[in-house]
Structure 1
Amino acid sequence: MDSGDEFFFHHFIYSSDDSSSDDEDLVVAALVVHDHIERQLPQYRGSVPGRAPNLSCNRERGHALLYADYFANTPLFKPDKFHRRFRMARHQFNHIREGVVAHDPYFECKTDALGKLGFSSYQKCTAAIRMLAYGIPGDLVDEHVRMSESTCPLSLYNFCKAMVAVYGPEYLRQPNVVDTERLLVTNAARGFPGMLGSIDFFARLAQGHSPPVNFEINDHQYNKGYYLADGIYP
């Protein structure tokens, strides 16, 4: 990257700290990072005409750039940018990544038949979380993590299975009485007395199975909780 390209790159990276919208910031950052990757990667064309390029070099370079951008001790992007683009803090990402790696060997960085390193757990988890966070297909994240369009959905599939297996018993279970009381107190402090929280548990309420809830609004007593969701309560 020459001096002009370096100025262009850093100008856009650090100008993203202004008051521009999240969407504009994300688009600009994605384009700049993509340009940065493309300019630094050698143009592998294979030693024999018609032969595929050495993709293992792309995998390793992709991990190196991703790690330098977000996971190094002094990453290129600040914590607020990490939270915006991953929808979580870095320590939460690492906690999840360590959990799925320990559960499923798929996320381990293995070597292929030629002894070349495969995709790292950072690349696989980043692809999966980006697809979940933004609801986008694999071909919109494959270039940044240097993974094929077909590998990104495979990472997503294995990631979701691992998440359910590892964290489901604690975070995907039905709330008990203690959980309900805690949720009611927390949401009442936020100005929503009687709100149970996530719409994910609405099926139990619809079936008539819900923990006891008692609260008062405008001198009226209510004995059933409700779930706050945009547009369903006129």
Structure 2
Amino acid sequence: MRLANDLPKHFEYFQQRDDARGHPGFTPTQKITAALRQLAYGVGLDMLDEYLQMAKKTGHDSLNHFCKGVILLYKRRYLRKPTIYDIQRIYEVHSERHGFPGMLGSLDCMHVGWAMCPTAWRGQFHRGDHPGPTIVLEAVASQDLWFWHAFFGVVGSNNDLNVIDQSPIFDDLIDGVEPPQAFFANGEHFKYGYYLVDGIYSEWGTLVQAYASPLSDKRKYFTKRQESTRKDIERAFGVLKKKWVILANPIKFWTREKIRKSSTRV
């Protein structure tokens, strides 16, 4: 609904106008829904004719204007890497909330089902432990659900290690153009921040894992705090899955939520 409010204010295409017959045209919500369904499911424009009574050209134009509009409106705030100010704010929040100074966020991967995967590509995106083709999403999320890194679309049967080997997450660090990330911890100065990860990742200096078999009380305490802090990325993935469910079955979802709230009040 925020998109439906913002796009018509800035772009004439999403404003409802009369057609050549003088009848009201498509509403902003209908055009945005057409674009989202194409992006989410890769559906052909013929399906929009049945679902939204929308012609191919209108569906194609809706997608183009939607993508350009989102980039122009939200790029400066969302579609970017953290600035020096953002990094310091992330450090302060994570240090105060989780007790991890210098933590940039939690890094993890998630398999996203690709129901409309072309038949010719299904073998490239199919793993044995999943019922159908999937796309691996690698993401970094902070405690406020900000996804400031997202990488997906790698071809092949992948896990977290295959994906990070091809990911651009450390390209700026290798090229020496990464913004300053210095911080202090226990009186020591560190030049770059780090990410919390699970046990599958390699032992790199920028990746902090929990102890596999902690024996001392200090290691047990650290492992407990590390695993609880990594719930940030799990919670962020959970929010994404919830949004996909709403997008896939909007009428069914809202009806179920209405029934649930009514029963709760009773």
TM-score bracket relative to the smaller structure:
0.3 to 0.5
- Tell me which protein shows more strand as a share of its residues: 2
Please give the TM-score of this superposition, normalised by the length of structure 1: 0.47
- Tell me which protein shows more helix as a share of its residues: 1
Please give the TM-score of this superposition, normalised by the length of structure 2: 0.42
